[in-house]
């Protein structure tokens, strides 16, 4: 079973994506599942680190928080671009020491940070676990460290480690 279905979630996701694109029918389900099984074998050959989700129940909360924050950030950045206060805008870099080491958790954090208009993931140092973030409208550096650590990292730690 392990050899045939190395990444069950991935197989389901690819088969579903196939059905969304090709339409729902028995033939497409079989075809999509075949493609998904092949793709999973391909991924298994690459031997990526297997993500281990410890707390499924925290995922909806994380998604809710992130959607809300992205909405706020959209409004904030749109306001700056519209208002023409570009000269007064103080952007800057913030270094954030991260506890999170799980590669999948870091990938999720990168997706969150880059999907938020106000923040951009610039660099990450493996050695010290330091994330270098560029913040569009930087008022207080400590606020951003707190935001990333308390709002996202704690939840990601619960989910992945």
The nearer residue to other proteins, 57 or 87, going by C-beta atoms, is 87
CB of 43 to other proteins, least distance (A): 15
Q: Which is nearer to other proteins, 8 or 97 (CB)?
A: 97
HEC profile for the chain?
Answer: CCCCCCCHHHHHHHHHHHHHHHCCCHHHHHHHHHHHHHHHHHHHHHCCCCCCCCCHHHHHHHHHHHHHHHHHHHHHHHHHHHHCCCCCCCCEEEEEECCCCCHHHHHHHHHHHHHCCCEEEEEEECCCCEEEEEECCCCCHHHHHHHHHHHHHHHHHHHHC
Q: Give the residues lining the site for other proteins (CB under 8 A).
A: 17, 20-21, 70-71, 73-74, 77-78, 81-82, 86-87, 89-95, 97, 107, 110-111, 113-125, 127-130, 132, 134, 136, 138, 141-142, 145
We find the least distance from the C-beta atom of residue 47 to other proteins, in angstroms, to be 20
Question: Which CB atom, from 4 or from 35, has the smaller least distance to other proteins?
Answer: 35
């Amino acid at each position: 079973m392990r050899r045939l279905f190395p990444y069950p979630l991935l197989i389901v996701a690819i088969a579903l994506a196939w059905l969304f694109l090709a339409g729902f029918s028995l033939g497409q389900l079989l075809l999509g599942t075949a493609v998904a099984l092949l793709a999973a074998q391909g991924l298994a050959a690459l031997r990526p680190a297997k993500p281990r989700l410890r707390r499924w129940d925290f995922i909806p909360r994380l998604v809710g928080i992130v959607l809300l924050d992205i909405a706020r950030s959209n409004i904030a950045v749109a306001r700056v671009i519209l208002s023409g206060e570009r000269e007064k805008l103080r952007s800057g870099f913030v270094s954030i020491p991260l506890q999170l080491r799980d590669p999948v958790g870091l990938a999720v954090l990168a997706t969150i940070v880059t999907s938020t208009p106000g923040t951009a993931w610039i660099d990450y140092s493996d050695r010290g676990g330091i994330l270098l973030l560029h913040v569009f409208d930087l008022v207080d550096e400590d606020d951003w460290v707190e935001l990333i650590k308390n709002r996202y990292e704690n939840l990601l730690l619960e989910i992945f480690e």
